[in-house]
C-alpha cells in the first residue's frame, strides 16, 4: 500500500497530511506535535491561515527532540492573493519561511488564481463587499514562483482552486520553466471532481483533496446542509470494515491516488485519520461512494465572483 505519491519533480509526497486551516493559535502547535508523533510527515499550511509561526514552533520542537529531521518532512504553504504582483512573490514566500522557521518549502502553491489588491488587508473589498482585484495575470505570478524554485526557496510549485482551463493556460505558457507539480482542490464524495482529477493526472500533476470530510466545522455551515460524516450509506460501508466514516472518506481519495489533508486539532482524531492503510474499499464500494456526487461546493469564494480569474464558472 502506497503512502506516497510521486511528483513530476521526482519528490515523494506523503498521501496523508495534516490540514491547518482554522486550527487556532493555542492549539495548532500541539496538533502538529501530536501528528508528528503519530507518523504524519506532510503538513499543509498557508500564509492566510495566520498560524504558521505556531506550526513552525511545533515542527522545530520535534526536530530538536530528534523525532524527525527536516528532510523527513514535506511542508506545503500557499501564496496569498494579495501577493500576486511579481515583485511581491519572493517576499511573501520568505515571510512564510520565517514564520515556519524553515529555509525551504517542499511545495508552494498559488492559493487562488485571483489576484487581490496588494496591502495589509488580506481580503480587500469594495463598498459592495466584493473583492478588489489587482491588475495581475497569474501567468506572471507563475514566473515569479518559478524563480523561487531556481533560487532554492521552494522545491516544487503548483496551485489551488484552479479550473482546467486555467491549468491549461499555465501548461501552454510559452517558455514554461517549471511544470506545476500539484493542484489542491476541494474534493469529497459530494464533489468528486472526476473530470478535473483525470485531466490533472493525465498531465502528470498530482492532486490533493482539501475538505475530504466535507468541512463540518466551516463557520458558515447551515443546519440543512448535507453532512457526509452522517451519511447512512457511508456509515454502512464503515461498519463493514470496522472503521469510522472519516476513515472511509479518506481511504476513498487515497485509492484514487489523491492526497488528503484532513484538519484536526484533536489528538485522538489525528491518530484515527492516520489509520487508513490497513484496509481497502472494494470496487463496488468505490462506485457507491462516487455515486454520491452532487457537485456541492463549500468553498465558493463568492466575494470574488466578479473577478476575471474566478475559477468556478467553468464546468471543471
Residues involved in catalysis: 49
3-class secondary structure for 201-270? HHCCCEEEEECCCCCCCCCCCCCCCCCHHHCHHHHHHHHHHCCCHHHHHHHHHHCCCCEECCECCCHHHH
Phi, psi at 312, each rounded to 5°: -95, 25
CA distance 200 to 196: 6
Please give the grid coordinates belonging to residue 116: 487581490
Triad 81, 82, 87: Cα angle to 5°: 110
Secondary element (H or E) of residue 27:
none
Q: Which residue has the cell 475559477?
A: 311
Amino acid at each position: 500500500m502506497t503512502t506516497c505519491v510521486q511528483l513530476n519533480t521526482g519528490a515523494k509526497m506523503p498521501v496523508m497530511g495534516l490540514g491547518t486551516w482554522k486550527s487556532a493559535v493555542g492549539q495548532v502547535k500541539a496538533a502538529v506535535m501530536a501528528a508528528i508523533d503519530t507518523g504524519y510527515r506532510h503538513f499543509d499550511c498557508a500564509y492566510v491561515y495566520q498560524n504558521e509561526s505556531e506550526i513552525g514552533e511545533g515542527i522545530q520542537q520535534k526536530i530538536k527532540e530528534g523525532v524527525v529531521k527536516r528532510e523527513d518532512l514535506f511542508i506545503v504553504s500557499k501564496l496569498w492573493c494579495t501577493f500576486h504582483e511579481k515583485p511581491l512573490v519572493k517576499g511573501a514566500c520568505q515571510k512564510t519561511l520565517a514564520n515556519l522557521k524553515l529555509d525551504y518549502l517542499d511545495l508552494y502553491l498559488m492559493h487562488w488564481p485571483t489576484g487581490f489588491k496588494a496591502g495589509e488587508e488580506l481580503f480587500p473589498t469594495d463598498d459592495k463587499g466584493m473583492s478588489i482585484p489587482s491588475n495581475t495575470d497569474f501567468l506572471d505570478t507563475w514566473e515569479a514562483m518559478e524563480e523561487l524554485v531556481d533560487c532554492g526557496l521552494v522545491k516544487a510549485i503548483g496551485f489551488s482552486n484552479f479550473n482546467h482551463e486555467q491549468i491549461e493556460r499555465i501548461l501552454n505558457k510559452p517558455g514554461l520553466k517549471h511544470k506545476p507539480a500539484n493542484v489542491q482542490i476541494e474534493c469529497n464524495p459530494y464533489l468528486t471532481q472526476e473530470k478535473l482529477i483525470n485531466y490533472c493526472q493525465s498531465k502528470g500533476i498530482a492532486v490533493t483533496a482539501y475538505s475530504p470530510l466535507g468541512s463540518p466545522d466551516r463557520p458558515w455551515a447551515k443546519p440543512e446542509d448535507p453532512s457526509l460524516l452522517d451519511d447512512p450509506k457511508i456509515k454502512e460501508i464503515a461498519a463493514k470494515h470496522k472503521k469510522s466514516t472519516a476513515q472511509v472518506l479518506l481511504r476513498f481519495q487515497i485509492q484514487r491516488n489523491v492526497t488528503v489533508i484532513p484538519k484536526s486539532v484533536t489528538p485522538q482524531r489525528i491518530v484515527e485519520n492516520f489509520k487508513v492503510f490497513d484496509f481497502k474499499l472494494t470496487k463496488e464500494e468505490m462506485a457507491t461512494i462516487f455515486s454520491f456526487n452532487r457537485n456541492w461546493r463549500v468553498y465558493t469564494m463568492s466575494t470574488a465572483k466578479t473577478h476575471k480569474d474566478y475559477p468556478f464558472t467553468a464546468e471543471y
